[in-house]
Amino acid sequence: MASRSSLLFSLPPRCDPRALKATGVERDGGSIQSRLVNITKHVLKPKHEVLTVEEKVKLQKDYNVVDSHLPLMLESDAVAHYQGFRQGTVVKVTYDNELTGNHVTYRCIF
């Protein structure tokens, strides 16, 4: 899960937007059915880790890049949506493959 705390609850389909704004509730638009299966536990899914601010700064310094130079991952991506990644977050994606071994890439949530 991302570094923010979250609570999942079901709202009526036509919930008043003013009520959501008054309570500070963020609606992600996902359905309960989309949360029933933990897609991050699938054997073929690579490992996704959120970088801390320090790790993000070190990555940018070591490789002389900014967020816009990194490959993008949409906020609507299945893993990003399931994990609750928000725009601007940098994620380390580790692939474990029999042919190539461990392979690491970094993605910026857009």
Into how many domains does the chain fold? Answer: 1
Q: Quick check: pTM over 0.85?
A: no
Residue 32 confidence (pLDDT) above 80: no
Residue-level pLDDT at 49: 94
Q: pLDDT per residue over 77-104, tens digit each?
A: 888 888 889 999 999 999 988 887 889 9
Residue 47: CA atoms inside 13 Å, Cβ hemisphere, count? 9
65 inside domain: yes
Average pLDDT over residues 14-31: 69
Q: What is the CATH number of the domain that holds 67?
A: 3.90.940.20
Spatial separation of the C-alpha atoms in residues 98 and 84, rounded to whole Å:
29
Residue 76 sits in which domain range?
47-109
